[in-house]
Every structure is written in structure tokens, then in C-alpha cells.
Amino acid sequence: MNEKGKLYIVATPIGNLGDITLRALETLKKVDFILCEDTRNTQKLLNYFEIKTKTISYHQHSEIKKLLEIKKLLVSGKNLALVTDAGTPGISDPGNKLIDMILDEVQVENSKYFVNKKDSSMIVQSDNIIPIPGPSAVITALSISGFPADKFLFLGFPPHKKGRQAFFKEIAESKYTIVFYESSHRIKKCLLELVKVLNEKQQLCIGRELTKKFETIYRGTIQEILKMNISEKGEFVVVVSK
């Protein structure tokens, strides 16, 4: 019987390629396949470091068929690395869904991909899933905020429509530092919603394009930040003090 393969959860740079770890590079070189959120983005990273490992697409829209194919690679003894477009997999991306499925001994019925729940050959042990830590936009923003971070809440992206009002209410009522992501085309709308719920002394730290060429850090109260004419380009991490 083949030894089960290992799944490495590999953090990659959120911008500056120099932030990748030696262990991440070693892992990406030695695995059989790399599972990518977007193979085109990952290929740029691999080309830069002259890594020849083959890639497989895996993202939030991947069907159960793809998930089971990945699991079959592992049980056949193939070693895989999971990467996201930037940062640590499983943080606001479907990496956690893949891990949960891989560890599940009971598979759903899906035509020819049905796996008998008593088939022990399809079980992947939890110690075969190995973290390769590194960059994370959440931790990067927190580290420069100056706000208490012994306890904090990470809320991902605000809902686009339904639940958005409740999202910002939760921020206003939180007893802890809050961290969340926002897209470039919604950042202004986000700030206008925050001004309705935050008190006038509450501090914010907003990171734009962290670790990249046009990295910008905005600090102040919501009223002060609204006067800063924030660029609506790039990726944003918003940190709100408690």
C-alpha cells in the first residue's frame, strides 16, 4: 500500500516577493503538484524563483469532482502544496474547505466519484497536513497598527448587500480590535458607513497595497481619514481600535 501523500499549506508573499520563506521555496520545489487559486498568478511567482513544479487549479468555485480528485492524489502518495494568490491559504479563501474534505472519512455520493465511507484507503490523517507559515495581510496590518492585538476579531470582507449594515454595527459594538478587508471600489463606501457608527475618538489604521511599491498607511479617526483623499486603487486592510 502506498504511503499517503502530504498536503502543505504554503504562505506566499502578499506583495514583495522577497518576503517568501526559504522553507516555502523548498516545499514548492519538492512537491508533486501545487494547488493554486489562480494558476496564472502563481506561475509568475514560480517563474521568478525558477520553480518547475506543475500546477493544478483549485478555487472557491471548484466542484466536488475536483476536491475528490485532489484527495485521490494524496491517497495515491502524491505530495501537494496549497497556495492562494497572496498570503496564507485558508484566510478568506476556500483552503479550509479543502482541508475539511480531505480529513472527512465520509464522502458524498457523486456519480462515479462515490467513495465508500468504510474504505480506509481513502482516509488522510491530520498529521499529513503541514503548515508552512509566512505572510498574512491580517497580521501585517495588525503589527503596524499600534492597537491592542492580544485579542482581535477578523471579519473578512464586508457583505456586498445583505448583512452589510449588521457588519458595521458589529464593528461599532466590538470590545476588541477589528480587522477586515475591503476592495478598492468599495473603500469609499466603507468609510462613509464607518462614519455613521464609530465614535469620534476611535482610531483606524488602513493599509493599502501592503509590502508593494505603492504601499500607503493611513492613520487617524474616521473624520481625519475621510479628509485624506484615499486612493481607490489596490487592496485594503482596515484595522479599527476597540
What is the tens place of the pLDDT at every residue in 130-152?
999 999 999 999 999 999 999 99
pLDDT value at residue 2: 62
Instruction: Identify the CA nearest to 65 among candidates 105, 118, 109, 31.
Output: 109
Residue 99: half-sphere exposure toward Cβ, Cα within 13 Å: 20
Question: Could you tell me if 181 and 80 lie in one domain?
Answer: no
pLDDT value at residue 240: 98
In a domain, 112, yes or no: yes
Residue 84: half-sphere exposure toward Cβ, Cα within 13 Å: 24
Question: Could you tell me if 81 and 145 lie in one domain?
Answer: no
Q: What is the CATH number of the domain that holds 103?
A: 3.40.1010.10
Question: Could you tell me if 194 and 124 lie in one domain?
Answer: no
Q: Which domain holds residue 164?
A: 137-240
Which of 132, 151, 173 is at the close of a domain? Answer: 132
DSSP structure string for the chain:
-PPPP-EEEE-B-SS-GGG--HHHHHHHHHSSEEEESSHHHHHHHHHHTT---EEEE--TT--HHHHHHHHHHHHTT--EEEE-SSB-TTSSSTHHHHHHHHH-SSPPP-GGG---TT-GGG---GGGEEEE----HHHHHHHHH-S--SSEEE--SPPSSTTHHHHHHHHHH-SSEEEEEE-TTTHHHHHHHHHHHS-TT-EEEEEESTTSTT-EEEEEEHHHHHTT---S-S-EEEEE--
pLDDT value at residue 75: 87
Question: Could you tell me if 114 and 13 lie in one domain?
Answer: yes
Model confidence pLDDT, tens digit, residues 91-112: 877 778 888 877 775 444 443 4
Question: Could you tell me if 84 and 104 lie in one domain?
Answer: yes
Residues 6+ apart with CB under 8 A from 111: none
- 8 A C-beta contact, residue 194 and residue 171: yes
The domain tally of the chain equals 2
> 236-240 and 177-182: which strand pairing?
antiparallel
Instruction: Identify the CA nearest to 80 among candidates 61, 63, 56.
Output: 56
pLDDT value at residue 62: 67
In a domain, 168, yes or no: yes
In a domain, 1, yes or no: no
- Segments of the chain scoring below 70 in pLDDT: 1-2, 62, 105-125
Question: Could you tell me if 157 and 174 lie in one domain?
Answer: yes
- 8 A C-beta contact, residue 8 and residue 82: yes
In a domain, 53, yes or no: yes
Question: Could you tell me if 12 and 128 lie in one domain?
Answer: yes
Placement of cell 498607511 in the chain: 217
Question: Could you tell me if 65 and 168 lie in one domain?
Answer: no
pLDDT value at residue 108: 43
Q: What is the CATH number of the domain that holds 145?
A: 3.30.950.10
